[in-house]
Structure 1
Amino acid sequence: MSTVDRRDFLARTLAVSAAAATGATAWTTPGSALAAGPARFGAGAYLRPRPEAMADPTELTVAEAAWMIKNGKLTPAALVEAYLDRIGRFDGVYQAFNTVLAEQARAAAKAAGRRKHTGPLHGIPLAIKDNYWTAGVRTTANSYLFQDFMPPRDATAVTRLTANGAIVLGKTQMGPLATTRATTPDGRITTVNAWTPGDATVDPGGSSTGTATSVAGRMAASGTGTQTGGSITAPSNAQNLTGLKPTMGRVSLAGIIPLSYTRDHPGPLARDARDAAIMLTAMAGEDPADPRTQGLPPVPDLVTAATPVTVKGRVRSRWKTRVGVLPGYATSTERRVFLSTLDGVDGISLVDVPLPDEWELLTGTEFNNVRLPERSEPFLPLLRTDLRGFGVSVTGWLQGALLGSTEFLTGQRAKQRLLERVLDQIFDRCDVVVQTGPVPFDILGLPEIGFPIGFSAAGVPVGTILGGEPYGEDRLLSVVAAYQAVTDWHWRRPADPPAQRTRTADDRGRLNADEVVAQMQ
Structure 2
Amino acid sequence: MKNSRWLMGATLLGAALVGACDGGTAKGGGAGAADVSRIARRTSAISLDIVELSAADARDRMAEGTLTARELTQAYLDRIARIDDAGPRLDAIVELNPRALLDAAALDAERRAGMRSGPLHGIPVLIKDNIDVAGMVNSAGSLALAAHRPKEDAFLVARLRAAGAVILGKTNLSEWANFRSTRATSGWSSRGGQTKNPYVLDRNPCGSSSGTGAAIAASLGAIGVGTETDGSILCPSSVNGLVGLKPTVGLISRSGIIPISISQDTAGPMARTVTDAAILLGALAAVDPADPAAWKQGALPRDYTIYLKPGALRGKRLGVLRQAMGTHPDVDRAAEASMATLRAQGAELVDVEMDTYNRWNEPEFTLMLYEFKDGLNMYLRRSGAPHASLEALIAWNKAHADTVMPFFGQELFEKAQALGPLTDAAYLDAREAARRLAGKEGLLAVLDGERLDAVVAPSMAPAWLTDHVLGDHFMGTSHGVAAVAGTPSITVPMGESHGLPLGFVFMGRAYAEGELLGMAFAFEQAARARRAPAFAPTLRR
- Which band: TM-score by shorter chain? 0.7 to 0.9
Tell me, in whole angstroms, the C-alpha distance in 1 between the residues paired with 2:397 and 2:94.
24
Tell me, in whole angstroms, the C-alpha distance in 2 between the residues paired with 1:317 and 1:142.
40
Partner of 1:324: 319
Would you say 1:373 and 2:370 are equivalent positions?
yes
Q: 2:96 corresponds to which letter in structure 1? A: V
Partner of 2:469: none
Partner of 1:6: none
Tell me, in whole angstroms, the C-alpha distance in 2 between the residues paired with 1:258 and 1:301.
26
Q: Which deviates further from its counterpart, 223-232 or 396-405?
A: 396-405
Q: Which of 408, 430, 433 is the aligned partner of 2:427? A: 408
Alpha-carbon offset, residue 444 of structure 1: 1.7
Tell me, in whole angstroms, the C-alpha distance in 2 between the residues paired with 1:153 and 1:301.
25
1:359 match: secondary structure: coil
Say whether the 8 Å CA contact 2:390–2:413 is kept in structure 1: no
Matches for 1:489-500 after TM superposition, within 5 Å: 489-490=529-530, 492-495=531-534
Residue 229 to residue 367, structure 1, CA distance change in 2 (3 Å): closer
Partner of 1:68: 61
Alpha-carbon offset, residue 257 of structure 1: 1.2
Q: Which of 91, 97, 100 is the aligned partner of 2:96? A: 100
CA RMSD of aligned residues (A): 2.3
Say whether the 8 Å CA contact 2:121–2:164 is kept in structure 1: yes
Q: TM-score, normalization: structure 2? A: 0.75
Tell me, in whole angstroms, the C-alpha distance in 1 between the residues paired with 2:429 and 2:290.
29
Alpha-carbon offset, residue 196 of structure 1: 1.3
Tell me, in whole angstroms, the C-alpha distance in 1 between the residues paired with 2:340 and 2:189.
42
Say whether the 8 Å CA contact 1:297–1:471 is kept in structure 2: no
Residue 359 to residue 487, structure 1, CA distance change in 2 (3 Å): closer
Residue 120 to residue 384, structure 1, CA distance change in 2 (3 Å): closer
Q: 2:93 corresponds to which letter in structure 1? A: F
Q: Which of 172, 178, 192 is the aligned partner of 2:196? A: 192
Say whether the 8 Å CA contact 1:274–1:306 is kept in structure 2: no
Alpha-carbon offset, residue 205 of structure 1: 1.4
Tell me, in whole angstroms, the C-alpha distance in 2 between the residues paired with 1:278 and 1:211.
17
1:484 match: secondary structure: helix
Q: Which 4+ runs in 1 deviate beyond 6 A?
A: none
Q: 1:245 corresponds to which letter in structure 2? A: K
Residue correspondences, number: 430
Say whether the 8 Å CA contact 2:243–2:492 is kept in structure 1: yes
Residue 160 to residue 393, structure 1, CA distance change in 2 (3 Å): farther
Tell me, in whole angstroms, the C-alpha distance in 1 between the residues paired with 2:396 and 2:136.
26
2:322 match: secondary structure: coil
Partner of 2:284: 283
Say whether the 8 Å CA contact 2:124–2:222 is kept in structure 1: yes
Say whether the 8 Å CA contact 2:251–2:295 is kept in structure 1: no
Tell me, in whole angstroms, the C-alpha distance in 2 between the residues paired with 1:57 and 1:176.
29
Partner of 1:451: 492
Partner of 2:482: 441
Partner of 2:167: 168
Matches for 1:462-481 after TM superposition, within 5 Å: 462-481=502-521
Q: 1:375 corresponds to which letter in structure 2? A: F
Matches for 1:3-402 after TM superposition, within 5 Å: 56-92=49-85, 93-101=89-97, 103-115=98-110, 116-179=115-178, 181-185=186-190, 189-197=193-201, 199=202, 202-300=203-301, 302-309=303-310, 316-317=311-312, 320-331=315-326, 332-346=332-346, 348-356=347-355, 358-360=356-358, 362-365=359-362, 367-377=364-374, 378=377, 379-382=389-392, 385-388=395-398, 391=405, 392=408, 394-402=410-418
Partner of 2:445: 425
Say whether the 8 Å CA contact 1:302–1:473 is kept in structure 2: no
Q: 1 or 2 for the larger relative contact order (CA 8 Å, sep ≥6)?
A: 1
Alpha-carbon offset, residue 403 of structure 1: 4.9
Tell me, in whole angstroms, the C-alpha distance in 1 between the residues paired with 2:236 and 2:142.
20
2:480 match: secondary structure: coil
Tell me, in whole angstroms, the C-alpha distance in 1 between the residues paired with 2:232 and 2:218.
18
Tell me, in whole angstroms, the C-alpha distance in 2 between the residues paired with 1:423 and 1:127.
32
Q: 2:157 corresponds to which letter in structure 1? A: V
Q: Which of 486, 492, 499 is the aligned partner of 2:526? A: 486
Q: 1:282 corresponds to which letter in structure 2? A: A
Say whether the 8 Å CA contact 1:251–1:284 is kept in structure 2: yes
Tell me, in whole angstroms, the C-alpha distance in 2 between the residues paired with 1:296 and 1:178.
31
Alpha-carbon offset, residue 296 of structure 1: 4.3
Q: Percent identity?
A: 34
Q: TM-score, normalization: structure 1? A: 0.78
* Cα deviation digits, residues 267-321 of structure 1 (max 9, x gap): 1101111111110110111112222214145323653344233xxxxxx226632
Partner of 2:383: none
2:260 match: secondary structure: coil
Tell me, in whole angstroms, the C-alpha distance in 1 between the residues paired with 2:117 and 2:491.
29
Q: 1:176 corresponds to which letter in structure 2? A: E
Alpha-carbon offset, residue 413 of structure 1: 2.5
Q: Which deviates further from its counterpart, 291-300 or 266-275?
A: 291-300
1:151 match: secondary structure: coil
Tell me, in whole angstroms, the C-alpha distance in 2 between the residues paired with 1:367 and 1:253.
19
The unaligned stretches of length 5 or more in structure 1 are 1-53, 310-315, 498-515
Residue 367 to residue 120, structure 1, CA distance change in 2 (3 Å): closer
Residue 306 to residue 289, structure 1, CA distance change in 2 (3 Å): same
2:505 match: secondary structure: strand
* Cα deviation digits, residues 234-278 of structure 1 (max 9, x gap): 000000000111001000011111111111111110111111111
Q: 2:126 corresponds to which letter in structure 1? A: A
Tell me, in whole angstroms, the C-alpha distance in 1 between the residues paired with 2:341 and 2:443.
26
Alpha-carbon offset, residue 385 of structure 1: 4.7
Say whether the 8 Å CA contact 2:135–2:150 is kept in structure 1: yes
Alpha-carbon offset, residue 407 of structure 1: 3.5
